[in-house]
């Protein structure tokens, strides 16, 4: 498996993805149809016992939409590791097909390694007068759900710029393409962010609850409890709840709201652990990467099993 004792540059993550696809062609399919704004491949893996032939419910997990949230991509590659290289929970492949997209914003992720550690957005430019001096759109404001109405900005020089229109970003269109392709059978969608030790569910733009809130909460609690049971005493306990109420601010155009609005029953934003304050929280000490990957996978497993008992 990949090393989990330090944060890895994009090429190491991509080499891992390529090698897994090569080494396990029976269960793994690499998809790289689209390229990022700067031309990097957008890579995700489809993992299945039978090449997605038997219409099982799909679990989709993405990471790295926000570039500086470095703990996010390793939790997704770790899920790949657990499903392919070290399958200690075979029921999860019996019951579900999986789609794992570790770095949804590779341009931003590379930029945090080569230039600006605290970069959040994509690296695109558009027609806005300020866009050339201030590139980048917030991917988690760019989905077509109550787009650019709350917790967003029209100014490209801010971290929450919503873009010139919904789905202006090819990286966001790539995530959306997965959601659309498997809409009829996607059961769980999780987008990995940091930080705060939170499990958030819709609706995040106005704090109201969806029709499916009771189930969203039950499955969310199962995830949060499983993580807490695997966690370290020094880590914060997870809180589970509505996005706006639990994180304390509203934001529209977010992935978890959009996927739910399209009909995916169980959609969550995980805010993974961070220690420290302010922007320090985005740089979780690398000594904790392995721990967070293990406990986060525990949360995904518990959520998948909890959902299996309901659906
Ligand atoms: O603001 C965000 O995009 C997320 N927090 S982060 O610190 N990772 O940037 C929270 C998104 C919460 N979900 C919704 N507002 N729907
Ligand atoms: Zn984020």
Domain boundaries, the chain: 10-310
Residues in the chain: 311
ipTM above 0.95? yes
Residues contacting residue 227 through CB under 8 Å, at least 6 positions apart? 238, 295, 296, 298, 299, 302
Distance in angstroms (rounded) separating the CA atoms of residues 120 and 110: 11
Q: Does any ligand 1 atom lie closer than 6 A to the CB of residue 256?
A: yes
Task: For residue 82, give the DSSP letter.
Answer: I
Strands laid side by side in the 186-194 sheet? 28-31, 44-47, 97-101, 58-63, 186-194, 266-272, 198-201, 239-242
Residue 1 has a pLDDT of 78
Nearest residue to 98 (alpha-carbon basis) of 143, 139, 44: 44
| Cβ neighbours of 99 (radius 10 Å) | 23
Q: Does any ligand 1 atom lie closer than 6 A to the CB of residue 251?
A: yes
Alpha-carbon 290 to chain mean position: 18
Residue 232 has a pLDDT of 96
Q: Which residues of 245-273 are buried (b: 16+ CB within 10 A; e: fewer)?
A: ebbeebbbbbbbbbbbbbebbbbbbbbbb
Which two tokens mark 59? 């679990």
Quote the CATH superfamily of domain 10-310.
Zn peptidases (3.40.630.10)
With the most atoms of ligand 1 within 8 angstroms of its CB, the residue from 149, 150, 247, 278 to mutate is 247
Q: What is the set of active-site residues?
A: 271
**In this structure, are residues 179 and 186 in contact, taking their beta carbons and an 8 Å threshold?**
yes
Nearest CA residue ID for atom 2, ligand 1: 140
pTM higher than 0.95 for the full model? yes
Nearest CA residue ID for atom 16, ligand 1: 204
Among all ligands shown, which has an atom nearest to the Cα of 245?
1
Q: Output the tens digit of pLDDT for each of the chain's 311 residues.
A: 799 999 999 999 999 999 999 999 999 999 999 999 999 999 999 999 999 999 999 999 999 999 999 999 999 999 999 999 999 999 999 999 999 999 999 999 999 999 999 999 999 999 999 999 999 999 999 999 999 999 999 999 999 999 999 999 999 999 999 999 999 999 999 999 999 999 999 999 999 999 999 999 999 999 999 999 999 999 999 999 999 999 999 999 999 999 999 999 999 999 999 988 899 999 999 999 999 999 999 999 999 999 999 99
**In this structure, are residues 192 and 256 in contact, taking their beta carbons and an 8 Å threshold?**
no
CA gyration radius for the chain?
Answer: 18
Distances (CA, A) of 273 to 5, 9, 101, 167, 304: 16, 20, 20, 29, 21
**In this structure, are residues 145 and 243 in contact, taking their beta carbons and an 8 Å threshold?**
no
Instruction: Say how many Å lie between the CA of residue 293 and the centre of ligand 2.
Output: 17
First and final C-alpha spacing in the chain: 33
**HSE (CB half, 13 Å, CA atoms) of 299?**
34
């Amino acid at each position: 498996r990949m090393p989990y004792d330090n944060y890895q540059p994009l090429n190491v993550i991509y080499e891992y993805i390529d090698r897994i696809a090569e080494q396990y062609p029976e269960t793994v399919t690499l998809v790289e149809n689209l390229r990022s704004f700067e031309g990097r491949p957008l890579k995700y893996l489809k993992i299945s016992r039978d090449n997605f032939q038997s219409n099982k419910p799909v679990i989709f997990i993405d990471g790295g939409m926000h570039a500086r949230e470095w703990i996010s991509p390793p939790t997704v590659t770790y899920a790949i590791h657990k499903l392919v290289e070290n399958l200690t929970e075979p029921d999860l492949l019996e019951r579900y097909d999986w789609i794992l997209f570790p770095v949804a914003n590779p341009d931003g992720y590379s930029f945090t390694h080569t230039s600006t550690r605290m970069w959040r957005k994509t690296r695109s430019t558009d027609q806005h007068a300020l866009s050339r001096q201030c590139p980048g759109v917030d991917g988690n404001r760019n989905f077509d759900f109550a787009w650019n109405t709350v917790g967003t900005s029209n100014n490209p020089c801010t971290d929450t710029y919503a873009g010139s229109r919904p789905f202006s970003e090819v990286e966001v269109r790539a995530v959306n393409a997965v959601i659309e392709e498997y809409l009829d059978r996607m059961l769980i969608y999780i987008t990995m962010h940091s930080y705060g030790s939170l499990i958030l569910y819709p609706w995040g733009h106005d704090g109201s609850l969806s029709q499916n809130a009771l189930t969203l909460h039950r499955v969310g609690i199962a995830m949060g409890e499983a993580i807490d049971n695997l966690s370290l005493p020094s880590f914060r306990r997870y809180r589970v709840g509505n996005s706006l109420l639990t994180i304390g601010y509203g934001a529209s155009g977010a992935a978890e709201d959009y996927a739910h609005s399209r009909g995916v029953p169980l959609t969550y934003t995980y805010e993974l652990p961070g220690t420290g304050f302010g922007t320090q929280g985005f740089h979780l000490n690398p000594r904790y990467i392995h721990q967070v990957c293990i406990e986060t996978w525990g949360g995904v497993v518990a959520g998948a099993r909890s959902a299996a008992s309901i659906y």
